[in-house]
Amino acid sequence: MKVVMLAALLCWSGLGFASEVFKYQDEDGNWVFTDKRPADTEFELIELESHEKYTIRPRLYTEKVEGQTALFAQNPLFAPVELRVKSDDGEVTFQGVIEAQSVQRVSTLEGRERYRYRWALGDPNAQHSSFSYHFPVTQKGKYPISQGANGRFSHFEEPNVHAVDVVMPVGTEIVAARSGTVISVKDDYHMSGRNGYFMDKANYVSVLHEDGTYATYAHALLGSAQVKPGDQVKVGQVLAQSGSSGFSTGPHLHFVIRKNVGMRTVSVPFTVANEAGQKVQLNRGTVVTNR
């Protein structure tokens, strides 16, 4: 039995731990990542030294300003957010957009007044432009669409109604389908499955577009991200490599365009053009050929 020793270091703040992951191909040729040693098949042993990351998100805080208790919102993300603040009795005291990488005073508190807040990624005024996206893979090959919009497996409700799943081998380069700003990257998970535990585990890259929508490229391979939040990317630039992380039954790319509508994340329909400028319908069963 061949054993290949690999090592990876995920650079996140937090507590460190070490783990072993076994990588092998099943009878159907699908790559499997597991923490259980396979009994009768060749595998790669991946030794991971990982660190638990802290989630970065908008926050509210108070400061004394000219004798008053001012409430401020800080948005550390590289995208605008919509913020709604309510007093303890349910009255909305602020609702508006907090721009990317900014701090804004949102209200003044009376005494020890309590408050609650919610936020949603993206400007609710964003309008999806009629842009023909680049196919998110440039490597030569054939790429079947295993699930399109309104797919019965996982595209039947928001925020994934207009998503598409593109089947591709592990390690295929995923490229930007539209230029923009990288707003979020998750690159720390190695396993997959089809129960609820894996719903929030997929690795991904999200890119904000100039029209205020953003694309999510999901199920990327552990440790393959080539970009970080704040990076400016161009069409065709490599973002990561394909994998099967998170809620997934095999190696593929989950690609979706999203926006904020009324404090709710929804997907939007989109079109893809090939190198000749012709529109390609990404319906289930379609096979996209890169020559």
DSSP secondary structure string for all residues of 193-261: ESSGGGTTT--EEEEE-TTS-EEEEESBPTT-----TT-EE-TT-EEEEBB--EE-SSSEEEEEEEEES
Give all strands (DSSP E) within 26-101, no chain letters: 31-34, 43-51, 59-65, 68-75, 81-87, 92-98
**Structural domain spans, the chain:** 3-51, 59-121, 132-290
Task: Record the pTM.
Answer: 0.77
pLDDT at 16: 30
Q: Which of 36, 10, 59, 13 is nearest to 203 (CA)?
A: 10
What mean pLDDT is predicted for residues 82-99? 92
pLDDT at 8: 25
What are the pLDDT digits (tens) for 96-140? 999 999 999 999 988 777 888 999 999 999 999 988 999 999 999
- Amino acid present at 12: W
Q: How many CB atoms lie within 10 A of CB 261?
A: 15
The strand pair at 246-247 and 192-193 is best described as parallel
Architecture of domain 132-290: Distorted Sandwich (2.70)
Q: Between 246 and 198, name the one with better pLDDT.
A: 246
